[in-house]
């Protein structure tokens, strides 16, 4: 969790879920979580979009990040891949301006 907070803070506010097996990263911006997923998968990381969990209220956009049974080194690699995906999205946004 500390690694996610330190490396992903420009894009996500990360909090531990009640289960202790996953973290929830709420997006700090207007981007849609499903759009991030497409880029993240190309960078070799997968997550569950939070918005797909909403049925009866307005969807919140974020990432459900599972970490149960993930070694520290593997988690570090995943966080850096996700950071790279966010950086790519930022570069694209700057290019559209």
Q: Where are the beta strands (DSSP E) in 1-97?
A: 12-16, 22-27, 48-49, 62-66
Q: Which residues contact 8 (CB under 8 A, 6 or more apart)?
A: 14, 25, 79, 82, 83, 86
CB–CB of 24/33 below 8 Å? no
Mean pLDDT to the nearest integer, 9-36: 89
What's the whole-model pTM score? 0.87
Residue of 8, 4, 1 whose CA lies nearest to 89: 8
pLDDT at 97 (0 to 100): 60
CA distance 51 to 62: 7
Mean pLDDT to the nearest integer, 81-92: 94
Q: What is the pLDDT of residues 50-67, one digit of tens each?
A: 999 888 888 889 999 988
């Amino acid at each position: 969790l500390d690694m996610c907070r330190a490396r992903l803070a420009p894009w996500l506010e990360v909090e531990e879920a009640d289960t202790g097996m996953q973290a929830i990263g709420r997006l700090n911006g207007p981007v849609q979580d499903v759009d991030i997923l497409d880029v993240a998968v190309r960078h070799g990381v997968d997550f569950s979009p939070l918005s797909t969990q909403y049925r009866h209220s307005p969807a919140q956009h974020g990432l459900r990040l599972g970490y149960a049974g993930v070694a520290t080194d593997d988690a570090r690699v995943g966080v850096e891949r996700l950071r790279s995906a966010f950086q790519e999205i930022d570069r694209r946004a700057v290019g559209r301006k």
